[in-house]
Amino acid sequence: MSSSTPELDKRDQERLARTSERRFEKVVGISFTLSLIATIGLGVVYWQGGQTQVEGALLFVTLGGLGFGIVAWGKYLVPQGPYVQDREELKSPASEREVLIESLERGSNLIVRRSFLAKLLGASVAAFGVITLFPFIRSLGPQPKKMLYVTNWKKGSALVRSDGTKVRASDLEIGGILTVFPEGHAGGAISQTVLVRPSFQDIVTKPGRESWGPQGYLAYSKVCTHAGCPVGLYQELTQQLLCPCHQSLFDVMTGANPVFGPAPRPLPQLPLEIDSQGYLRAQAGYDEPIGPGFWERA
Ligand code: FES
């Protein structure tokens, strides 16, 4: 009688410990699962346009589930120690060997369960990592594709104002400036072009551009070659276009060469012509990409 009582106590303690471990494993598993579900929900809500309150609640569950699960795992499922074991005689009694075998069997189940929890934790963290990339990916905006290489200007495009009315050769006096667009694309950011009239005579800005400036009209892309701001200020006295963002100055008489500021290259020039009815038109589209410098350019 006296020898069986402590053994029974030991077994009871083992059973109790096992039950309690399983309970905590369930709690940890539920925490990670909740975190994983909330992370996926967060991604879905964000992708569909977002809703701040819902996103906040889901983020709370995501991080809370992860944090709670990790803390509970560390506190209740990892042996705490330190352990001290009395030295006993080497040969164990049969009952102790039974307990040991049970314990080893339980251990193999334990390894399976713990590796499942580890996978669940890994999935939650990985999902959260992917979801946090969403804002970065979306903030990059749409791909520019070919839109910086090709504008809406083409041969014969009439020059129109932002309200769509066509521009006549008689519309601007010397020193006049106007923002123009290709007909059918009034207001387009990529095709916006600045039209200036420094003279009443034809102007040649560069060799090969003898016919591009009829009756003193010159047209240049309005998108700054530095960082893409609209170049909208014209200083008649110096015949320079000014970009207000970083004060780049472009000389309109020499093909909008940059003469001051950080712009690395001239504004592309649009070749103009005047049709039989006196309207200004493009001889062709721009012959080079507009906007900020590209790395492949010389
Ligand atoms: S964007 Fe024009 S000078 Fe910087």
Q: Which residues line ligand 1 (CB under 6 A)?
A: 224, 226-227, 229, 243, 245-246, 248, 261-263
Rounded to the nearest angstrom, the distance between the alpha carbon of 285 and the centre of ligand 1 is 23
| % of the chain surpassing 90 pLDDT | 53
Could you tell me the sign of the dihedral formed by the alpha carbons of 268, 274, 279, 282, in that order? negative
Pocket test of ligand 1: the residue of 194, 225, 242, 248 to mutate, having most ligand atoms within 8 Å of its CB, is 248
Which pLDDT score is estimated for 17?
Answer: 80
Whole domain around residue 130: which residue ranges?
4-80+91-139
Give 1's pLDDT tier (boundaries 50, 70, 90): very low
**Which residue, among 210, 174, 198, 209, has the nearest Cα to 252 in the 3D structure?**
198
Radius of gyration in angstroms for the set of CA atoms belonging to the chain, rounded to a whole number: 38
CATH number, residue 217? 2.102.10.10
- How close is the Cα of 196 to the center of ligand 1, in Å? 19
Given a cut of 90, whether residue 179 has pLDDT beyond it is yes
Q: Is 169 a member of any domain? A: yes
Q: Is residue 100 part of a domain?
A: yes
| 224 C-alpha to ligand 1 centroid (Å) | 6
For residues 204-214, give the mean pLDDT. Answer: 96
Mean pLDDT score across all residues of the chain: 86
Classify residue 152: in a domain, yes or no: no
6 burial (CB, 10 Å; 0-12 / 13-18 / 19+) is exposed
- What's the pLDDT tens digit per position in 153-174? 999 999 999 999 999 999 999 9
Separation of 249 CA from ligand 1 center, angstroms? 9
Q: Which residues contact 275 (CB under 8 A, 6 or more apart)?
A: 281
Residues sharing a CB contact under 8 Å with residue 179, sequence separation 6 or more, in sequence order:
161, 162, 192, 193, 194, 195, 222, 230, 232
Once rounded to an integer, what is the mean pLDDT over residues 95-102? 77
Which residue, judged by its Cα, is nearest atom 1 of ligand 1? Answer: 227
The per-residue pLDDT for range 217-231, each reduced to its tens digit, is 999 999 999 999 999
Q: Which ligand 1 atom sits nearest the alpha carbon of residue 248?
A: 3
Residues 134, 180 share a domain: no
Q: Which 3 state secondary structure label does DSSP give 298?
A: coil
Distance of CA 231 from the midpoint of ligand 1 (Å): 8
Tokens of residue 23, six digits: 């309970």
Please identify, by atom number, the ligand 1 atom nearest to the C-alpha of residue 262. Answer: 3
Residues 260-272 have pLDDT tens digits of: 999 999 999 999 9
Is the pLDDT at 298 greater than 50? The verdict is no
Structural domain includes residue 290? no
Q: Are residues 273 and 187 in the same domain?
A: yes
At residue 254 the predicted structure's pLDDT band, cuts being 50, 70 and 90, is very high
pLDDT in tens, 104-141: 776 666 667 778 888 888 888 888 888 888 777 777 77
Structural domain contains residue 145: no
**Do residue 116 and residue 210 come from a single domain?**
no
Residue 8 has pLDDT above 90, yes or no: no
Residue nearest to atom 4 of ligand 1 (CA): 246
Q: Which atom of ligand 1 is nearest to the CA of 229?
A: 1
Query: CB atoms < 10 A from the CB of 135, how many?
Result: 11
For 54-63, 72-81, 91-100, which range has the lowest pLDDT when averaged over its residues? 91-100
Better-scored residue on pLDDT, 294 or 153: 153
Residue 168 and residue 48 in one domain = no
What's the 246 CA to ligand 1 centre distance in angstroms?
5
Digit-coded pLDDT (tens) for 138-151: 777 777 666 667 89
Q: How confident is the model at residue 191 (pLDDT cuts 50, 70, 90)?
A: very high
pLDDT at 292: 86
Half-sphere exposure of 117 (CA within 13 A, CB side): 24
Cα of 225 vs centre of ligand 1, distance in Å, is 7
How many structural domains are present in the chain? 2
